[in-house]
Amino acid sequence: MPTKKIELMSPAGDFESLQAAIQAGADSVYFGVEQLNMRARATMNFSMANLAEIAERCRKNNVRSYLTLNTIVYDHDLSLMKAVIREAQKAGITAVIAADQAVIAFARSCGMEVHISTQLNITNLETVRFYSLFADVMVLSRELSLGQVKAICDGIRKENITGPSGNLVAIEVFAHGALCMAVSGKCYLSLHTHNSSANRGACVQNCRRKYKVTDLEEGHELEIDNEYIMSPKDLCTINFLDELIETGVSVLKIEGRGKGPDYVKTITSCYRQAVDDYFNGTYTREKAQSWMKQMEQVFNRGFWGGYFTGQLPGEWNDTHGSKATTKKIYIGKGHHYYPKIKIAEFKIEAYPLNAGDRVMITGKHTGVVETTVSSLHVNDEGAKETAVKGDLCAFPLDIPVHTSDKLYKIVDVKEEQTT
Amino acid sequence: MITITQQRDKCIGCNYCVEAAPGRWRMSKRDGRSVLIDGKNRRGFWTVKVGNEEGAANEKAAALCPVKIIKLKDL
């Protein structure tokens, strides 16, 4: 059994997700600023002005911070790329995740730690040796089997392949999240059909739709039976995490900078427990099944083990969008917190809230907090069963709420469909 | 006359508007986003009035923009 600690890395698309990742026990987070990252389309990207706060929050919580700067880079991007790296270094960001050689070279020239992005599709030991001139950590291509990952990790130790720090190169793999029909994201489909390049972070995800095959000679249209033939299910490794850790990898990465803080919190918490249990010797496949049930509650396209387990390709999604078993419904926003009596007050802006409801509160400082409304106080009318739009309502909560916090009700998707 | 508007903060710097209408667009070397030449900024929306002769090229720029932040309006 490996004794070295595994680093669990979580996505942070915004401050809510960053806080959620920290709360859930991530060892490190990765995030993008401005448009030079693989989620350029996301409305919630950080800006350069946020770098200092991100670094500070991470430092306080002993979490490493990684800046993704991994799109293809044009000449007109060079000045911004350099400005972003300088700013990240000044702020105290731990490392830059890079793919383009211009980014790698500039970051190194500044003395900034570099991690090689999965966009470079590392699939063999010689490529690891090549990039070890520049980087201490490398993300492997998602298309490798457990055996191939192990061979690379063994090779690094056996041949003593070290990075600029003098330490052995650390291997990072994706442990959970969206998979793509292209080789590690190098896809042309979105650019071809919508002029919107995945390699500039602007993928429109048209692979996730349903397609027909047309016989051009006779005009027959064949709908591929209930399968979204270009949309793979999501990668999930928690049910064979012991085998994945035993390949010798150092970092487990969770995909999902475009997903919500509830996703980040749930997925990070499950993998945190699984990693800790593995090192305590209490990890079991039965526990893994219950973590998978928990993870099914947040955004997912169904789970499979990706290419790690050598399954035949063909684990396609059979629905459009998420298969999450729960859904969050916006209720209202934070209004006031009474710290002495630990009561949180919210303004209801949308759907009604009932005593007994399972709720989630998210916010830049709050991260993600889940609770059940044990009792409900509405306006000045005392205890009531229901609060409706326009009401000020209060219920007991151990954690302070802020006016920027949002209140959601969590409902089962099946229950929601029948009401 | 035509009004061209660009919601600049959403630009991802793909360069297509410059390819389609190089007389009206250029890439900023400062922040890697496209610049609407002679545009005036009002709350993040950059606007310029141009003659009809620029219509075709800028319609192409608007159609090619992957994040759909370029809008044309006939005056």
A127 CB-near residues (< 8 Å, 6+ apart): A120
Q: Give the CA-trace dihedral at A112, A118, A124, A125, to 10 degrees.
A: 20
State both tokens at A56: 């500070």
**Cα distance between residue B20 and residue B40, in whole Å:** 21
State both tokens at A183: 């080789």
Which string of b and e fits A306-338 if b means at least 16 CB within 10 Å? bbbeeeeeebbbeeeebbbebbbbebbbbbebe
Tell me which chain B residues have a C-beta less than 8 angstroms from the C-beta of A40. Answer: 12
Tell me which chain A residues have a C-beta less than 8 angstroms from the C-beta of B65. Answer: 195
Whole-structure pTM value: 0.84
Tally of CA atoms within 13 A in the half-sphere of A49 that contains its CB: 0
Question: Domains in chain A, start-ordered, CATH in brackets?
Answer: 7-179+233-317 (3.20.20.70), 183-231 (no CATH), 326-418 (2.40.30.10)
Q: Which residue of A36, A79, A196 is in closest CB contact with B30? A: A79
- Tally of domains in chain B: 1
| Chain A nearest CA to B31, separation (Å) | 5
Which of the four pLDDT bands, split at 50, 70 and 90, describes residue A3? low
Q: Percentage of chain A surpassing pLDDT 70?
A: 92
φ, ψ for residue B55, nearest 5 deg: -55, -55
The answer, for A192 touching chain B at a CB cutoff of 8 Å, is no
Interface of A with B in 7-36 (CB under 8 A): 34-36
Domain at B65, CATH number? 3.30.70.20
Residue A311 has pLDDT above 70, yes or no: no
Residue B5 has pLDDT above 60, yes or no: yes
- Domain containing B39: what range? 2-74
Q: What is the ipTM of this complex?
A: 0.74
**Cα distance between residue A245 and residue A239, in whole Å:** 12
Residue A397 has pLDDT above 50, yes or no: yes
Q: Which residue of B has its CA nearest to A203?
A: B66
Residue B64 has pLDDT above 70, yes or no: yes
Which of the four pLDDT bands, split at 50, 70 and 90, describes residue A206? confident
What is the average pLDDT across B64-68? Answer: 91
**Per-residue pLDDT at A112:** 96
| Chain B nearest CA to A196, separation (Å) | 5
Which of the four pLDDT bands, split at 50, 70 and 90, describes residue A301? confident
Chain B residues with CB within 8 Å of chain A CB? 11-16, 27-33, 64-67
Using alpha carbons, select from A48, A5, A368, A231 the residue that is nearest to residue B9: A48
